[in-house]
Amino acid sequence: MAADDLPVLIVGDVHGDLEWLFKALKPYPAGLWHTIFLGDLVDYGMFGVGALRYARDRPNSEALLGNHEVAMLWALRDPTRVGWWIAVGGQLHDLEELRQDEPLQRWMRERPALMKLPDGTLVQHCGNDSYLGLRDEPDDVNRVVAEQLKSGSERRLWDFLSSPNVFETQSTRLVRYLDRMGARRVAFGHKPHRGKKPLAFDGGKALNFEGAVAPLPD
């Protein structure tokens, strides 16, 4: 069965906490779900690279780019950024592990910033319309992000992917964003609180997964 035919499981920010991740995924076998990781698999916790590899290798899965993947790639490319990256949660042992794994680096650089699902749900890392600063078509946004990662524009990527979640409180911005993106709702993470289910705002037009692992509601 193609991933698009499976029900969607959303995984909020993992931040290197593999123990939590495995426990949270137990009720959701990989073969039965189209799993989407919302980004920020790395930093803070001890197993960032392990979480990246797990997300890459889990069947029927996609992983989006979070601000912390950008920070780690930035530190990898530019040693003068390592101190800053450690200050935002970077783990040196993970950086050394990533340095030795070029295929994993390539996979990280190919992560999309957002996805539009067949049911009209937009899925992205942060609950902000900052993505519109790039382009207003999901495929164009992802193309520009890939180009920026290649051309050393990590600062710009970090800034827009670190934008605060505003969709919970700013309905006009939310509606305008959905209209521009041609989507009916948007699911995002970015602020992990390890909730059990997503918080819905504006009649379900904005879904904040808050570090939860949960099926996408109908």
Binding residues for Mn ion restricted to 146-205, rule: CB under 5 A: 190
Encoded amino acid at 192, one letter:
P
Which 3 state secondary structure label does DSSP give 190? coil
Angle between helices 48-57 and 102-109 (to 10 degrees): 70
Minimum CB separation from Mn ion for residue 94, in Å? 16
The stretch among 48-56, 63-71, 92-100, 199-207 that binds Mn ion (CB under 5 A) is: 63-71
Minimum CB separation from Mn ion for residue 59, in Å? 25
- How many CB atoms sit inside 10 A of residue 204's CB? 12
Minimum CB separation from Mn ion for residue 51, in Å? 14
Q: How many residues interact with Mn ion (rule CB under 5 A)?
A: 4
**Residue 40 near Mn ion by CB under 5 A:** yes
Q: Token pair for residue 203? A: 């009649």
Matching residue, tokens 């930035």? 74
Question: Whose CA is closest to 188, among 97, 95, 107, 125?
Answer: 125
Using CB under 5 A, pick the residue from 67, 128, 170, 208 that binds Mn ion.
67
> Considering beta carbons, is residue 40 or 154 the nearer one to Mn ion?
40
Matching residue, tokens 């960032």? 48
> Considering beta carbons, is residue 66 or 138 the nearer one to Mn ion?
66
Residues lying near Mn ion in the complex (CB under 5 A) are found at 40, 66-67, 190
